[in-house]
């Protein structure tokens, strides 16, 4: 699990480094990287029984948040995805950033969201930095969310 998280972080840094014009380091100054492991057991207020799993990489540079979510095992009919404000552990929090994923069909496995970004205000960045945010992927069968994971700063 830890190796896959490290791989995800290194992959994100490589993508960002290739697109950066800084010839010295390839990584923009001030870049923050957050990751999440997504599964049904993390859903609140009640865990969801599902074989679907995923990973999320969220980067912050200034006020721009960029995300990539990979679904690692089959998931049925993705309908929404978000960064949420984490409330109490047994409560679903408010949506802070909407991913607007392309809806998928049954048995989808692959990248759920690629290259999406949004400019956010300081309150959302403060939540992420305080460990008070999570990624949630919603499906037709689980409108409240099928796989979820807390964003952790790397």
Q: What is the pLDDT of residues 33-84, one digit of tens each?
A: 999 999 999 998 899 999 999 999 999 999 999 999 988 888 888 888 999 9
77-102: average pLDDT: 85
Higher-confidence residue of 102 and 132: namely 132
CATH number at residue 133: 2.60.40.200
Alpha helices by DSSP H, listed for the chain, are 2-19, 122-129
Mean pLDDT estimate for the chain? 83
pLDDT at 23: 55
1 domain residue, yes or no = no
Asked whether residue 102 is assigned to any structural domain, the reply reads yes
- Cα–Cα distance for residue pair 95/136, rounded to 1 Å: 9
Token readout for 127 is 């939540």
Residue 23 within a domain: no
Q: Which two tokens stand for residue 148?
A: 């979820």
In a domain, 25, yes or no: no
Containing structural domain, residue 91? 30-153
Q: In terms of C-beta density within 10 A (0-12 exposed, 13-18 middle, 19 or more buried), how is residue 133 classed? A: buried
- Cis bond upstream, residue 59 (ω within 30): no
Name the pLDDT band for 108 (thresholds 50, 70, 90). Answer: confident
Domain count of the chain? 1
Contact call for residues 151 and 83 (beta carbons, < 8 A): yes
Q: What is the DSSP letter of 87?
A: -
Q: Is residue 97 part of a domain?
A: yes
Quick check: is 123 in a domain?
yes
What phi and psi, each to the nearest 5 degrees, are found at residue 25? -110, -30
DSSP letter assigned to residue 93: P
Flag whether 56 is in a domain: yes
CA distance 4 to 98: 25
Output the pLDDT for position 93. Answer: 85
């Amino acid at each position: 699990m830890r190796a896959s998280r490290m791989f995800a972080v290194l992959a994100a840094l490589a993508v960002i480094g290739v697109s950066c014009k800084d010839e010295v380091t390839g990584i923009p100054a001030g870049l923050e990287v957050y990751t999440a492991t997504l599964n049904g057991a993390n859903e609140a207020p009640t865990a969801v029984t599902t074989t679907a799993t995923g990973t999320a990489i969220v980067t912050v540079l200034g006020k721009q948040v960029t995300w990539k979510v990979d679904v690692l095992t089959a998931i049925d009919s993705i309908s929404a995805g978000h960064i949420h404000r984490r409330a109490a552990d047994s409560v679903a929090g408010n949506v802070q950033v909407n991913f607007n994923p392309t809806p998928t069909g049954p048995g989808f496995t692959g990248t759920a969201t690629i290259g999406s970004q949004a400019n956010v205000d300081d309150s959302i960045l403060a939540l992420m930095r305080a460990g008070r945010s999570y990624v949630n992927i919603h499906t037709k069968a689980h409108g409240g969310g099928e796989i979820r994971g807390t964003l952790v700063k790397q």
